[in-house]
Structure 1
Amino acid sequence: MSEENVRTDRLVLTRPVPADLDDVFTLYSDPAVWEHFPSRRHTDPATTRGLLDAVDESWQLVGLGSWVARDADGALVGTGGCDLRLGLAWNLGYRLARASWGQGYAQELIRAAVAAARRVRFDLPITAYLLEHNVRSKAAAERAGLHLVWQGPDAGNPDPAAVRLLYADRPLSTVVVRELTAT
């Protein structure tokens, strides 16, 4: 089964293509979707192109990466899925357009991503790496069945007080935690 195009009850999930650049840039340049990490907001399409190149590399290397999520009418709902992180774990992530918040799309996307990751590489843990003050993402990770396995300083964050949380679907070795939280 190809993971590149997946349908859920309400979403069409597709591997990103160059034609998605403008929609994804609009999403990633919206300050509302970066309220918890404003310095990561995209300010030019080249940054978004770099993100899409990294996602494409995940697809090429392991047959799975993030998708572009659209509703039945083709409107962008967001992006998300599981990307391989350092060859050690799947990183579950999503970013939804502000107009799509509170409608259950995150859990729909998460369910599809977890199922796809388990089909592609069941041996790898599924993780979520998020900021402590992002209560919606914490709740989404917990609803997905992930459990807090680490919390500590957010390496590389311009806010020295920022705390990262690492959730996982299973216990992680000390080595894996150290590697996943060092970047």
Structure 2
Amino acid sequence: MTDPQLRESTTRRLILRVPEPDDLGRLFDLYSDPRVWGPDPLSRHEDPAQTERMIGNWRAAWERDGLGMWTAWEGGEFVGIGGCFLRYGVAWNLGFRLSPPRWGRGYAQEIGAAAIGAARQRRPELPVTAYLLEGNDQSLRAVERTGLGRVWRGPDAGNPDPGAIRLLYSDRPLTPAALKALTEN
């Protein structure tokens, strides 16, 4: 069961809430913007149906795991998305994507801190991790500012670019089984 306080949370500047079907247009705009997906082409959305499925998956994660991705708002304006979702049953995975006009203002750290706190509240025995592609320096800085440290570097499983390198960050050492689950899928 989801803690109602987690479904809608606030930070110093932001209101964080579970994505709604009405968010489709703004989320499609975010995920189809080449400035946003450029460092990670696998996250590109070319069809609103893809975004609609993503929203459905996020909402299902909230129902199943009691935590997931939020949409972030400041003063009624859309900032982006972020949160933690359960990955392969072995870790919480931190993620965020911000609207380009909101980059560089500390929103990723603010969302990250709320998400990490919620994950630790929900299931503290699980590590909090974050994935990013090598070369995505903006995300790298944001992840490092959350306090996560790099625990793995290697090929990005499933990426059609054979040269793509995935970085895995965590708030603690990972068991060999967790590391395998998180890096081989």
Q: If the TM-score is normalised by the length of the shorter chain, which range does it land in?
A: over 0.9
Question: Any idea what SS the aligned residue of 1:157 has?
Answer: coil
Give secondary structure in 1 for the equivalent of 2:6.
coil
Q: CA RMSD, aligned part only?
A: 1.0
CA distance in 2, matches of 1:110, 1:83: 12
Shift of 1:38: 2.4
Question: TM-score with structure 1 length normalisation?
Answer: 0.96
Counterpart-to-counterpart distance in 2, 1:61 and 1:82: 13
Match of 1:52 in 2: 55
Q: 1:32: how far off?
A: 0.6
Partner of 1:172: 174
Task: Give the % identical residues.
Answer: 52
User: Post-superposition shift, 1:40?
Assistant: 2.6
Runs (5+) with no aligned partner, structure 1: none
| Equivalent residue, structure 2, for 1:83 | 85
Q: Which of 22, 25, 28 pairs up with 1:19?
A: 22
Q: CA deviation at 1:39?
A: 4.1
Distance in 2, Cα, partners of 1:40 & 1:136: 16
Taking the aligned partners of 2:13 and 2:122, their CA distance within structure 1 comes to 23
TM-score, normalisation: structure 2: 0.95
Instruction: State the AA in 1 paired with 2:92.
Output: W
Moved over 2 A (4+): none
Deviations 1:13-44 (A, max 9, x none): 00011111111111111111011122431111
2:66 equivalent in structure 1: 63
Could you list the runs of 5+ residues in structure 2 that have no partner in the other structure?
none
